[in-house]
Structures are given as structure tokens and as C-alpha cells.
């Protein structure tokens, strides 16, 4: 009830003109109701005077509603003027009158859902295309920069490389270790359940050790690194783009590829294989522990069987590590450099970077398997 009384407007017809009488508080709190009220009002067909004496308070929202009404009436060829009220009202109204001429709100976004949908598909396709092309271009730049740095090794930012090794490698040790240890336990447990039926429980050792060394150690590490470090690369570089830091680097004559990308790439190529090695060891430790506790294979027997497994399996796993590292680092940096200036785009590119690098790592892993199979390794 009080709400309805707070502000209102009535229209009174006189013989040669109409009187529009706003009253109460014409402020933003009442703007929605007043807007509706003005729309419901039957507009007069003769000159109008807007009589401000009843207005207790007015802010820009309220004043705008009056100015807008006046503009609508004027557009229909009616003369309109303001009268009465506090002097401040008129300053405000005049000011909005001037601004109102320029005030056409931009059309709201996303009015047509179907068209929008097609637009989005088109944009996604185009962005995929430019993404692939751009990545090849980026790859070329990185190779050239790497070549230049190889010729003049002093240009390599050693401090940055070590900082990134610490961030991507050393500080990832606990989580990588824990995950591989648990995976080792799970693998050994599942293998034991199946192999017990054939009475071949000691084969658990061979099975899990080969699976861990060939596949799981490196694959898990790579996926963890894509989620942990690839995303961090994208977010770091993307935030620098938003803050114009990358432009500042360019303007200072520094090459962002050399300053930002190479140290991250080199650091990950060093730390990911080491982490994979660490993951192998803890995975084996996990499976050994389970074998001992659940199957009763004592550690001596375990290490003996382990020593009989060909070392090739280990190298097959390790060879993949630097390749995965290159993929993760390059995609992480590339998606970071594609950020376009908003916080939202940092988030989008980071998601992309993780999804793409995990996907590529798994695809490459499959290709490696085919390759090694054909080679008979």
C-alpha cells in the first residue's frame, strides 16, 4: 500500500492543454512502477504541461522517465513544457534532455535463438580452423626460437626454467606419488582376483609391473600434468594478456615465445620424464606392497621377478614422456596466448587447454602402442 503511494502520476485535461502531474518520490526505487504507470497512461492529443509541484524528490531515473515521456509526446508533434518544482529539478531535466538525444540503448544480445545456434556452430568451426592453423604457426615460431636459442644458449632464461621445474615438477611429487601408489595397489589387486582362478598369482608381478612401466606411470603423470601445469600455463599467460603484459614485453623488444614459452616448454620436458620415473617407482611399490600383504609374495621374490622383466618395457614408457611434455606445454602456452582480454576468456582457454592436451596425450599414446606393436617391441 505504502509502495503504491510513494510516487504516482495523473493526467488532467484542461480546455486547451493537458496537465501531467507527477507526485511523490520520483526515484530509482519507484522507477519500475512509474515506468509501467506512464505506459498505461492514455496520452493526450493536445499540448502538455508537466507540473512538478507535487514531486518530493527526483533522481536521474525519475527525471529520465519524465524526459522520455516528453520526448515521446514531442515526437507526436505536441508541445511539452515543464513547470514548477525545485530549481534543481530543471537542471537535472535539462541535462538529461541533452543526454537523451544520444541515448539509444544498444540492442540486447542473443534475441533469436535459432540464428544464434547456427552462428555459434559457424563460429566454433571457424575457431577450430584458425586454432589448428594458428597452432601450426605457433609451432613454427617455437621451433625457430628454439633454434636461435640453441645457437646462442646464453639467451635461455635459466632462472625461469628452474622456477618452472620447481612449480611443475618438485611440487607435484606428493600428488603424483600418491596417485601412482594407489593405482599400483588397485592394479595388483584386480590382477590378483583374476589370476587366482588360474592359479597364476605370481604372474601378478609381471602383469602389473609391465602395465605400470609401459602405460600407467607415464600416462597418469601426463594427464595429471595437463590438469595441473598445462592449465597453469594457460592461466598465467592469459592473465598477462589481459593485463597487457604480453604487449609490454613485445614493446620492450622481448619475444614472448622466448620469454614465456621456452622456459615452460623446457621445464616440462625435464620434469615430466622425471615425474614419470617417480610414478613408476611408487606404482611398483604399491603393487609390491599389495602382493606382499594380500598374496603373500615376499619382497625378495617380488624384486627377483621384477629383475627378470625386460628393461625395454621401462624405456617404452619413458620414451613417451618428453613427447607428452611437449604437447602439454605447447598447448598450454598456445591457448594462453589466444586469450582475448576478458576474465571469461582466460577461463575458456584454460578449459580448452586441459581438454585438448588430455585428448592428444591419449591419442598419441594409442599411436605409440600401434607403433611399438608393429616394431615388435
Partner 1 sequence: MSWASERDVVVRVRGLSVGFGRRLVLENANLDLYRNEILGVVGGSGSGKSVLLRAILGLVPRRAGRIEVFGRDVAALDLEERRLLERRFGVLFQGGALFSSLTVAENVAVPLREHVGLTAALAAEIAAVKLALVGLDPAADGRKYPSELSGGMKKRAALARAIVLDPEILFLDEPTGGLDPIGAAAFDRLIQHLTQTLGLTLFMVTHDLDSLVTICDRIAVLADRHVLTTGSVEELLAETHPWVREYFHGPRAARFFSPDALNRSG
Q: Which is nearer to partner 1, 251 or 366 (CB)?
A: 251
Q: Which is nearer to partner 1, 87 or 376 (CB)?
A: 87
Q: How far is the CB of 66 from partner 1 (least distance, A)?
A: 12
Q: How far is the CB of 352 from partner 1 (least distance, A)?
A: 16
Q: How far is the CB of 61 from partner 1 (least distance, A)?
A: 6
Q: How far is the CB of 340 from partner 1 (least distance, A)?
A: 7
Q: How far is the CB of 67 from partner 1 (least distance, A)?
A: 8
Q: Which is nearer to partner 1, 71 or 148 (CB)?
A: 71
- For the chain, the three-class secondary structure string (H helix, E strand, C coil) is CHHHHHEEEEEEECCCCEEEEEEEEECHHHHHHHHHHHHHCCCCCCCEEEECCCEEEECHHHHHHHHHHHHHHHHCCCCEEEECCCHHHHHHHHHHHHHHHHCCCCCCCCCCHHHHHHHHHHHHHHHHHHHHHHHHHHHHHHHHHHHHHHHCHHHCCHHHHHHHHHHHCHHHHHHHHHHHHHHHHHHHHHHHHHHHCCCCCCHHHHHHHHHHHHHHHHHHHHHHHHHHHHHHHHHHHHHHHHCCHHHHHHHCCCCHHHHHHHHHHHHHHHHHHHHHHHHHHHHHHHHHHHHHHHHCCCHHHHHHHHHHCCCHHHHHHHHHHHHHHHHHHHHHHHHHHCCCCCHHHHHHHHHHHHHHHHHHHHHHHHHHHHHHHHHCC
User: Using an 8 Å Cβ cutoff, are 292 and 303 in contact?
Assistant: no
Q: Which is nearer to partner 1, 312 or 342 (CB)?
A: 342
Q: Which is nearer to partner 1, 24 or 169 (CB)?
A: 24
Q: Which is nearer to partner 1, 106 or 296 (CB)?
A: 106
Q: Which is nearer to partner 1, 56 or 166 (CB)?
A: 56
Q: Which is nearer to partner 1, 61 or 326 (CB)?
A: 61
Q: How far is the CB of 202 from partner 1 (least distance, A)?
A: 59
Q: How far is the CB of 347 from partner 1 (least distance, A)?
A: 9
Would you tell me which residues interact with partner 1 (CB under 8 A)? 27-29, 31-32, 35, 59-61, 64, 68, 88-89, 91-92, 95-96, 99-106, 108-109, 242, 340-345
Buried b (16+ CB within 10 A) or exposed e, 62-72: bbbbbbebbee
Q: How far is the CB of 27 from partner 1 (least distance, A)?
A: 7
Amino acid at each position: 500500500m505504502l509502495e503504491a503511494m510513494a510516487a504516482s502520476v495523473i493526467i488532467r485535461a484542461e480546455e486547451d492543454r493537458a496537465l501531467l502531474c507527477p507526485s511523490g518520490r520520483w526515484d530509482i526505487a519507484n522507477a519500475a512502477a512509474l515506468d509501467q504507470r506512464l505506459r498505461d497512461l492514455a496520452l493526450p492529443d493536445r499540448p502538455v504541461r508537466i507540473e512538478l509541484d507535487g514531486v518530493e524528490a527526483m533522481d536521474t531515473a525519475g527525471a529520465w522517465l519524465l524526459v522520455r515521456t516528453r520526448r515521446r509526446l514531442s515526437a507526436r508533434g505536441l508541445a511539452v513544457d515543464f513547470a514548477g518544482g525545485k530549481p534543481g529539478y530543471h537542471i537535472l531535466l535539462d541535462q538529461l534532455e541533452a543526454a537523451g538525444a544520444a541515448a539509444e540503448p544498444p540492442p540486447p544480445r542473443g534475441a533469436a535463438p535459432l540464428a544464434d545456434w547456427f552462428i555459434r556452430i559457424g563460429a566454433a568451426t571457424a575457431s577450430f580452423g584458425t586454432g589448428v592453423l594458428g597452432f601450426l604457426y605457433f609451432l613454427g615460431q617455437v621451433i625457430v626460437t628454439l633454434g636461435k636459442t640453441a645457437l646462442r644458449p646464453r639467451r635461455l632464461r635459466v632462472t625461469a626454467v628452474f622456477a618452472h621445474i620447481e612449480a611443475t615438477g618438485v611440487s607435484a611429487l606428493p600428488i603424483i606419488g600418491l596417485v601412482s601408489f594407489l593405482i599400483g595397489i588397485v592394479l595388483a589387486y584386480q590382477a590378483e582376483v583374476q589370476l587366482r582362478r588360474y592359479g597364476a598369482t605370481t604372474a601378478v608381478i609381471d602383469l602389473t609391473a609391465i602395465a605400470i612401466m609401459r602405460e600407467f606411470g607415464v600416462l597418469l603423470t601426463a594427464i595429471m600434468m595437463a590438469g595441473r601445469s598445462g592449465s597453469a600455463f594457460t592461466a598465467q599467460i592469459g592473465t598477462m594478456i589481459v593485463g597487457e603484459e604480453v604487449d609490454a614485453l613485445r614493446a620492450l623488444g622481448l619475444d614472448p615465445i622466448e620469454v614465456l614459452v621456452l622456459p615452460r616448454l623446457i621445464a616440462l620436458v625435464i620434469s615430466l620424464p622425471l615425474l614419470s620415473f617417480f610414478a613408476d617407482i611408487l606404482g611398483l611399490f604399491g603393487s609390491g606392497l599389495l602382493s606382499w600383504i594380500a598374496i603373500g609374495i615376499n619382497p625378495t621374490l617380488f624384486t627377483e621377478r621384477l629383475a627378470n622383466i625386460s628393461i625395454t618395457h621401462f624405456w617404452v614408457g619413458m620414451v613417451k614422456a618428453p613427447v607428452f611434455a611437449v604437447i602439454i606445454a605447447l598447448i598450454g602456452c598456445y591457448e594462453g596466448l589466444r586469450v582475448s582480454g576478458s576474465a571469461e576468456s582466460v577461463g575458456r582457454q584454460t578449459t580448452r587447454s586441459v581438454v585438448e592436451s588430455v585428448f592428444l596425450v591419449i591419442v598419441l599414446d594409442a599411436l605409440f602402442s600401434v607403433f611399438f606393436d608393429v616394431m615388435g617391441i
